[in-house]
Structures are given as structure tokens and as C-alpha cells.
A and B are shown apart, each in its own frame.
Chain A
Amino acid sequence: GAGVSQSPSNKVTEKGKDVELRCDPISGHTALYWYRQSLGQGLEFLIYFQGNSAPDKSGLPSDRFSAERTGGSVSTLTIQRTQQEDSAVYLCASSLLSGTSSYEQYFGPGTRLTVT
């Protein structure tokens, strides 16, 4: 079946502009994660959605970052007033029910964001 898809695959934007990154999780997966991978650095947790529960936003680096998940499926990560340090690969992953259990995550191919 179809895996996790993300769009766009690459995005170049000017400093100060807003960007939206999209994630389509695997159908039926209720848990959705956003991560960031900066050049030469490890993965960094950003935000977690589980079903209709309030998202866990504890990893968002600033209030310029926000995310929503409509209808429990597609998610959009928005970065307002982008800065050069926002340049990174943004990865989305989905999994089955989470809660207190941990399930295998399926990763999307990522969106490479470059802020000039």
C-alpha cells in the first residue's frame, strides 16, 4: 500500500516568508509525528498528533512553528517568518495507535527546506 507522502520534496524560500509543509500519513494510522533534521545533526522531535487528542507541541522550537491535522489524516506544518536556521529536512512519520504503547513508525521522504 501507499506509504507516508510529503510535499513539497524541496522548498526554497526567502527569509521572512511563511511556508507550509504537508504530510499524508498511511491510511488508518492515528499517530502522526513531525521531526526536523538539520545538516549534520540528529533528528529532533517537533510535534505529535494522536487521534482527536490535543497535540503534544513540546518539541516546537518557537511560536513561529505550528501544525494542524485535519480530519485525523493530513497534517500541515507551518513556519511563519522563516529564518535561516529553519533550513533543514522536515520529516513526517505515522504509526498505528500510540498512547502508552509504542508502535513502529513509518517515515515519509521528507521536505528539504532552504531559507535564503
Chain B
Amino acid sequence: KNEVEQSPQNLTAQEGEFITINCSYSVGISALHWLQQHPGGGIVSLFMLSSGKKKHGRLIATINIQEKHSSLHITASHPRDSAVYICAVRSNTGNQFYFGTGTSLTVIP
């Protein structure tokens, strides 16, 4: 049973394209996180949100609590955006974090 589902699993885009990665979850949450993991590199937290929408540069994250769904958008994608993007949720009944299996994004110049 996967508490967090992401789609797509893999995504290839041309530089400049608008990208959307989706995340659905089945548990009650206190917050949802979007993480970025570069090949061979560490993990960086992009967003933490519990409602609405957040924007940072070319990245936008939205969450719909009623539908238990979040999206991560990348505008004007660039090859340096190539990474694995991971959705994670913190359970509202404890300290458990549940992770999606990640979306591997490749942006081609």
C-alpha cells in the first residue's frame, strides 16, 4: 500500500516547456513537502505547504486538501532542473513521513 502516489514516474521535456508533476496521498496530513534530489547529490527541500499555493522563482506548488492532491509546476524549464522530484507528507496522527517514489525529470537543451 502506497500512501503517496506520484505521476508521472519519468518525464522528459524540452527546454522552455511547462512541467507538471502530480502527487496524491491517502492519509491525513499536517503538511506536504516537495523535495529535489540531483543525481549523486543530496536532497533539497523545495516547498512545504499545508494549504493553497506557494511560488519560488520558476517553481510553483499547489495543494488541494479536500482532494488530497498536490502539484509541482516548473515554468520555462531548464536542463539544470533535471533531477528527481519527491513528494512527501507528514501524517497528522504522529511523526511519520510518507514518501512518493519520485518523478525523474530530464530537460533536454
Q: Are B31 and A106 in contact (CB under 8 A)?
A: no
Q: Does A50 contact B (CB under 8 A)?
A: yes
What's the tally of chain B residues with a CB closer than 8 Å to chain A? 23
Find the A residue at minimum CB distance from B50. A102
Q: Are A109 and B30 in contact (CB under 8 A)?
A: no
Write the B55-89 contact mask toward A (1 if CB under 8 angstroms, else 0): 00000000000000000000000000000001010
Q: Are A102 and B99 in contact (CB under 8 A)?
A: no
Q: Does A65 contact B (CB under 8 A)?
A: no
What's the tally of chain A residues with a CB closer than 8 Å to chain B? 26
Q: Does A43 contact B (CB under 8 A)?
A: yes
Q: Are B94 and A56 in contact (CB under 8 A)?
A: yes
Contact flag A42-B42 (CB < 8 Å), given A59-B96, A104-B48: no
**Nearest Cβ in chain A — how far from B98, in angstroms?**
7
**Nearest Cβ in chain A — how far from B48, in angstroms?**
5
Q: A102-B31, A105-B45 are in contact. List 8 more A-B contacts (CB 8 A).
A: A45-B96, A56-B94, A59-B96, A102-B90, A106-B45, A107-B35, A107-B43, A109-B41
Q: Report chain A residues within 8 Å CB of B42.
A: 107-110
